[in-house]
Every structure is written in structure tokens, then in C-alpha cells.
Structure 1
Amino acid sequence: MTIFTGKTEEAAIAAGLAALNCERDQVAIKVVATPRKGLLGIGRRDAMVDVVLKPVAEEEKQAAKAASSTTATYSVTHASAPTTDPTSAAVTTTPIESTTPKEQPTVTPAERRQQREAAVDAVQDYLATIVEQLGIDASLEVESSAHRQVRLTFTTNKEGLLIGKHGRTINALQSLAQLFLNHNGAAHVDIELDVAGYRERRTVTLTRLAENTAREVVATGKPVYLDPMPSFERKQIHAVLAKNRYVTTYSAGKEPHRAVVIEPA
């Protein structure tokens, strides 16, 4: 599903058309959720629509294929023909020299490992600088690391300030750290930041939320949209309910407002 949100259904549709760069008659639109004002701001929900491109007609596919086809790469050279027999002119075909892409330099496993280690060392300095600018005195250490996973743990007396309301500060720092690794040769390494056991407590909270919401969905027969959360927390919700045969889960909306939807199976 390709979900777009807006304060109204038309606003959500307009967002989808702009993102797909197409006209309204070129897409199929399905309303996933209608907007809801809520009571005193509680329970408010934006409109959600599924906007997908309509399949291209078969004739248009054939025409596009014919237009994009290339002619044979041969040049024709006519040999000089005797004046007495113009019909004996010889025609030879000479293949045009094809160009091949240049080979990319190969990176050895050892070089790739050194690149990852350098990126992990650099991201620690990067995070320490940010935290210092936030006015937080904290130390940082690699608590555990694997081939493609790194866990960095802060130690500080200002744990609440570093975690932030609903974990927003520590989550923002983790997103910055992941982007830093992606741009410094460690795109396949997942990083997790923690302070004072926050991640473990948050996992317990998300597990309880997933299970309680699933019971509510089964009891009411209606889907429930959870609050927006970062991708790694959404994965935890999906994982908790993956084996629950009474409900299904999927993510809807656009970052940073993407949320998990739990609905009856």
C-alpha cells in the first residue's frame, strides 16, 4: 500500500498526486481512514488514502517498447564496383566497436572491515560533540558490537534530559548516528543508542502495547492506529504480533508520522 495523509481526504489525495507526479485520472484511490477531530485534540486523526498508479494499457506498453528498441549496431561500407558491372558492388558489414563499462575497484573484506571500524570510531566523536552542545556531561562506550550491529551506551547524571519526552531525544540522536554511518562507508551497520536501560524498558512497554491493542482489535473488530513511532520501534510491534493469527499489522503514513495499524485478520 502507498499511504498518504492530510487534514482532509482531498489534501491527502493531493499529497499522493504530488509525490507520484501524476494526474488524478492516472491513479486508483482508496480511502483508508477518514479524518477525525477528536475530543479536545485527543484521538485526532488525519485522513489516510492509498494512491497507486493505474496499470499501463498493453498497447501503450508495446508502443513504448517499440520506441525504445535500438537498431543493430552495424555500419555499411560499399566497395568500389567496376564500371562494367554495377550490379556486382560488394557490401560489407563492419560491427561498431562496443563500449564496456569500466571495472570498479574491488574492496577486500579486510578493507571493508577497517572502513566500518573507522566509521564506528568517528560516530562516537560525532555523538559526543552533539551531546556536549546540548549541555549534557556524558561518557560513551561501545557496550556490545557484532558484524553488522553496534550498541553505544551513554553514562550521565542527566538521563531524563538525554532520553527526552517519549524518547524523542535519544531516538533523534540514533537517527543522526545511523545517517552518519550510512554516509561514511558503514551503510549495512545498524546502530542502537541506550542510556540507563531505556531500550529494555521501552521494549517491555511496546510489547504490552501491542498485545493489549491486539485484544482490543479482536474484541471490537475495528482497526486501531497507534501513535507514530520510529521504524525500529514499529518493527518491534510487527514482531510481537507476527504469530498472532487473529490480527494483521502494517505501517501507514509518511515519515516522521508513519504509524503501525493493527486490524482484524
Structure 2
Amino acid sequence: MATYKGETIEKAVQSGLADLDVSRSEVSIKTLVEPRRGFLGIGKRLAEINISIIEPQKSVVAKEPVISEPKKAEHSESEVHAKLNEVDDETKAEVHNQPKSATRPRLNDQVVAELQDYLSKIVAQLGIKATATNHFHHRDVQINFSTEQEGMLIGKHGRTINALQTLAQVFLLHHDIAHANVNLDVENYRERRTETLQHLAESTAREVVATGDPVFLDAMPAFERKVVHAALTNNHFVTTFSEGHEPHRYVVVALVQDEQL
């Protein structure tokens, strides 16, 4: 736990995040001293906060005993994303060159099985041992992965599993299925991530109310931004909106102005 000071709580937070080289969602922030402007410099007081890094929690899942095998060298996260980008470019090129079908295909067991096999091969190419199961209903496709390399498959802030989810969507476009909703999950990560985002939204709202300064969250995919917006939709003291361009679009949490009340 580290202590930081600033003219405002937000400036103290930004100073601490820069010093620790972490994002806001990776830390817990506790206000020790509220700032005070004073009069003519008399009685002025700096804001003081404590910042502690949140240790990632892992769900406990009972697993069958396995025969130990020599471990393969794992790819770094940068190598993982370079590979995913390469696969993404190849898939999009195939989609672009694919002749349009006269009839609109429907989502079915065969297409979903092919999608699962396609994703499983990519995961294997990344050096990750995982098994997958699927379920679909109408236009909703759910594919769940089970692996002991959970952190590698999820990636920092879910970047790897989200990239795979984008590839899954492109794969379905390759089959002329444009209105399907695909969700990939790893060891119940999506539910845990939703809870984390809801807590982040609530703590950010409290910070905005306390300081009066807007807070700019890290970039998130659209479905995660919706979680933040929904978490604060009934909060009458703050407003939320998105800025930036994909894939760097982010949520801003700001104080409601008097004219908006």
C-alpha cells in the first residue's frame, strides 16, 4: 500500500497510477485526507490517499488428476496478440472474397461445431491446452473453455478472450450469418468480470461526487461499456458517456450539472 498527495483526490490518484504503472481497475483507492483550499493560502490542505494493488482472484474449480507432461514454452501476451491479429487478417480476407449466397444461411449445430473447432485450433496454436463446449439457442451462441492456463487464455483485462470473440463473430460472417450473438467464456470469467465492472462503476461514481472531477476509465469493448452504463443508470448524481474510437473507446463518468438536475 502506497500513499500519495495532490491538490485534488483525482490528481493524487493519477500521480499514484503513474508511479505504480497500473490502471484504475487494478487498484483499490482509500481517501485518507480530503483536500481544503484554505483562505489566502492559510489552512490549505492537500488530498491524501492510499493505493493498493488488487490481487486477481481465481475461481476454484475441481479438476480431474492429469498425467504430468513436459511443459511447452508459453507465448508472451504480445506474441499471442500478434498471432490473433494475423489470424484476424486472414479470416477477414476470406470473408471479403467469399461469394454471396442466394439464400441466407441459418445458425445450426454444424456451423456452431465448426466455429468451436476453429477457435480450439487457434487456442492450441497459442500454446494453450483447453477443452471447449458449446450451446446455442436461436441467434445466441455460447462457447465455454476449460483450461489450467486460465490467465493466458483470458489475457490482461480480458483482451485475449475478447479478441477470440471478435474472430468468432468474423467466422460467422464468413458463413453469411450476420445477426448472431457470440459469447466466449473461460472458467466463469464473464460473470466475475461483470461484478468487477459494477464495483468499479460504483467506486468511480463515489470518487466523482467527492471530487467533482470527471474520471476516464480504461478502454473497453462495447459489451463491457454497457455494464458500466447500466450500473450507474439510476445514479442521479453522475452521468456516463463513451468517447474515443474502437478499439480504444472508453467510458467517462462525470458529475451531473445543475441544469441537468
TM-score bracket for this pair, using the shorter chain length = 0.5 to 0.7
* Partner residue in 2 for 1:22: none
Deviation at 1:42, TM superposition (A): 5.1
RMSD (Å), alpha carbons:
2.7
Deviation at 1:196, TM superposition (A): 1.1
* Structure 2 counterpart of 1:129, from 121, 125, 135: 121
Q: What CA deviation, in whole Å up to 9, does each residue of 1:112-168 have, x standing for no partner?
A: 43x4544323211210110110112211111x4332211110112222221122222
Deviation at 1:213, TM superposition (A): 0.6
Q: 1:245 to 1:146 in 2, by over 3 A?
A: farther
Any gaps of 5 or more consecutive residues in structure 2? 1-13, 24-100, 257-261
Partners of 1:140 and 1:155 within 8 A in 2: yes
Partners of 1:119 and 1:186 within 8 A in 2: no
Partners of 1:207 and 1:236 within 8 A in 2: yes
Taking structure 1 as the reference length, what is the TM-score of the superposition?
0.56
Q: 1:258 to 1:118 in 2, by over 3 A?
A: same
- Give the 3-state SS of the residue equivalent to 2:143 in structure 1: strand
Any gaps of 5 or more consecutive residues in structure 1? 1-35, 45-104
- Give the 3-state SS of the residue equivalent to 1:226 in structure 2: strand
* Partner residue in 1 for 2:90: none
- Give the 3-state SS of the residue equivalent to 1:188 in structure 2: coil
Alignment of 1:170-189 (within 5 A): 170-189=161-180
Return the letter of the residue paired with 2:165: Q
For the pair shown, which has the larger CA radius of gyration, 1 or 2? 1
- Give the 3-state SS of the residue equivalent to 2:240 in structure 1: strand
Separation (CA, whole Å) in 1 of partners of 2:217 and 2:224: 11
Return the letter of the residue paired with 1:223: P
* Structure 1 counterpart of 2:112, from 120, 124, 147: 120
* Structure 1 counterpart of 2:139, from 148, 152, 155: 148
Identity of aligned residues (%): 54
Return the letter of the residue paired with 2:187: A
Separation (CA, whole Å) in 2 of partners of 1:258 and 1:173: 19
* Partner residue in 2 for 1:263: 254
* Partner residue in 2 for 1:206: 197
Separation (CA, whole Å) in 2 of partners of 1:39 and 1:193: 32
Partners of 1:218 and 1:264 within 8 A in 2: yes
Deviation at 1:182, TM superposition (A): 2.7
Structure 1 residue runs of 4 or more that deviate by more than 3 Å after TM superposition: 36-44, 115-119
* Partner residue in 1 for 2:60: none
Partners of 2:105 and 2:175 within 8 A in 1: no
Return the letter of the residue paired with 2:112: V
* Partner residue in 2 for 1:73: none
Return the letter of the residue paired with 2:129: D
Separation (CA, whole Å) in 1 of partners of 2:171 and 2:239: 34
Q: 1:160 to 1:41 in 2, by over 3 A?
A: closer
* Structure 2 counterpart of 1:193, from 184, 189, 193: 184
* Partner residue in 2 for 1:68: none
- Give the 3-state SS of the residue equivalent to 1:243 in structure 2: coil
Partners of 1:119 and 1:185 within 8 A in 2: no
* Structure 1 counterpart of 2:155, from 143, 160, 164: 164
1:246 aligns with 2:237: yes
Separation (CA, whole Å) in 2 of partners of 1:188 and 1:227: 28
Partners of 2:242 and 2:252 within 8 A in 1: yes
Taking structure 2 as the reference length, what is the TM-score of the superposition?
0.57
Task: Report the count of equivalent residues.
Answer: 166
